[in-house]
Structure 1
Amino acid sequence: MRFHPIVPAFVVIVPAAVGVVVCTVAGWRSRRRLAWLRRALAVVLLALVAARPGSAPRQAGGLGSDLDVYFVIDRTASMVAEDHDGSRPRFDGVRADVVAIARALPGARFSLVGFDNDVQTMLPLVSDVTALVNAVDVMRPEVTAYSTGSSPRLPVAYLQETMTTSTDDEPDRRRIVFLVTDGEATVTAPDAPTFDAVADVIDGGAVLGYGSTTGGRMRGWDGVERTAQPFIIDPETGEEAVSRIDERELEAMADELDVPYVHREGPGGIRAALTAVDASGRQATGAELPVRDDRGWVFALALLTLVLWEAAVVARDVTQAMAAFPGDAGRSWPLLRWRSPARPLDGVDP
């Protein structure tokens, strides 16, 4: 058995030794030696739990990958239009698809990038899928009041710079980009940039399109979680605004990136988004993943038993002390009804 203390060893050993000595001396001078023995044992068990006992480290098989996967997600108001898989918000489909893709590429590193009026890194490259899932779960659309129009081509400069820098820093890794958007542009830009330069510095990916030609209404977002936000009103018509997918723009961006375009209308079928992703670079990395079995729970369970025992004894002693008051002052406490008046008060040492 090996120990891996959560704090320096002397921080565990010294207080534990002092505690055992105090309990031993107190027990030697007291008639209640069993109680002090119990407390000394609890101190020892607490020290053992803090020392984190476990098995010797062993090597476990793991899976590594040379893939860096970037999810570039449209956070504009149109991405909450309610026309995905019937009448669900498009963002619900985005969250499910990001998680499905990540789980289909074990061992890869993942980054989350969001864009609305600006482009922001929501999560830097990590190999922890749980961190990615949590980041996607808390991702929200832009605050409606701050929206100034959007373009699905906004991330072009960001991606070109990020991918170029990444290539220079780690040339042996491959970069995959999933552009997640409905393709709808609400600002006109005659000289809008193209993704052609980005295609030269990535190794695959896909453009994932969300929405329908029929369109869907969009609920506003004011930054406060609530049951239902009101629908966005089109200032030009005074009616509820409707967002529609722009597949022509989505297909054009996919051609520029040299990756497939996949229209995502509901759950399932995520493999279609991975046709341009070569995952053959995965390899076993067992020598790099030492693991150990933690045995601290055994001592923690024993410690819990002693704590409950101590609590029961203290409760009994308090009950007896309350009953020792003259008259009915002590007997009025409901917990005293089970006690026999003739029982001696043994919670206090002479």
Structure 2
Amino acid sequence: MILITGVTGFLGSNLLDKLDNDKVKLLIRNKSSFFVSNKCYEGVINSTATYTEALQSVDCVIHCAARVHVMKDASVNPIDEYREVNTAGTLNLARQAVEAGVKRFIFISSIKVNGECTQIGSPFKATDKPNPQDPYGQSKAEAEEQLLALAKETGLEVVIIRPTLVYGVGVKANFASLMKLVSKGLPLPFGSITTNRRSLVSVYNLVDLIVTCIGHPNAPNQVFLVSDDHDLSTAEMVRQMGLALSKPAKLIPVPVFCYSLVGKFTGKQDVVSRLIGSLQVDISKTKQRLNWTPPYKLEDGFKMTANALVSEEKC
């Protein structure tokens, strides 16, 4: 039996679609009519909640729930709030999992544990020393460290997966906004952003890796990075969106230095950095240790996302 947390989220809902419902339990914040099942349990992720009933007869926990990263966090003390859910909450669930006899704990972490950006040709690796730059990344890094310590202490099989930017049907935020702009045929000022490189991962490839890790003998007590294994520049990403939408992107070659100036004067350097900077990951360890390759090409993921967007706009 598998217990999944965060099943109402983007990743969790896609993961649920790929698993046998008869072998899955769900831990969610609030029960709803959508989850009409005696295998659905209500509970929040924090340092004090009890998960005894949900963990009964469970062999593997897939922990997708988290206090997610938000831009311009308005919390008075965001690091404490991230730690309460992502660090203390994760360890509380893991320790109770050990007591319940759970064998494997799969933790969905974040590439933000590695850092925010890379130099061309120097991608992040699973063996790199953590270098989180914000409270969200720090809380995930601390959870990883404590989970691996718990594994040594108790024998719990911990698997850590650090996704880069995840996209797919149902994705929100910047990726969805950019694809919508491309779908409208508007000229976009990204034509000169051709020398950076970004690693992305479709939710379909991420889910496939998670499923692989459920029973793989080489997965325990390892950290895995994941991507579509196809890095691309911002300009190429927009062109790929246009191809997926059957609407060629119209790109204007605005000099890259202009973005840096705009970021400086508007105080949005972080937004500009993600647009013009690089963030690459090396997934060679993931491929070799698990004998795994991404089953979906980047073009496939973009096409599925685009088709869903077009259908949504027609409704």
TM-score surpassing 0.5?
A: no
Question: Bigger radius of gyration, 1 or 2?
Answer: 1
TM-score, normalising length from structure 2?
0.30
TM-score, normalising length from structure 1?
0.27
More helix per residue: 1 or 2? 2
Greater RCO (Cα-Cα under 8 Å, separation 6 or more): 1
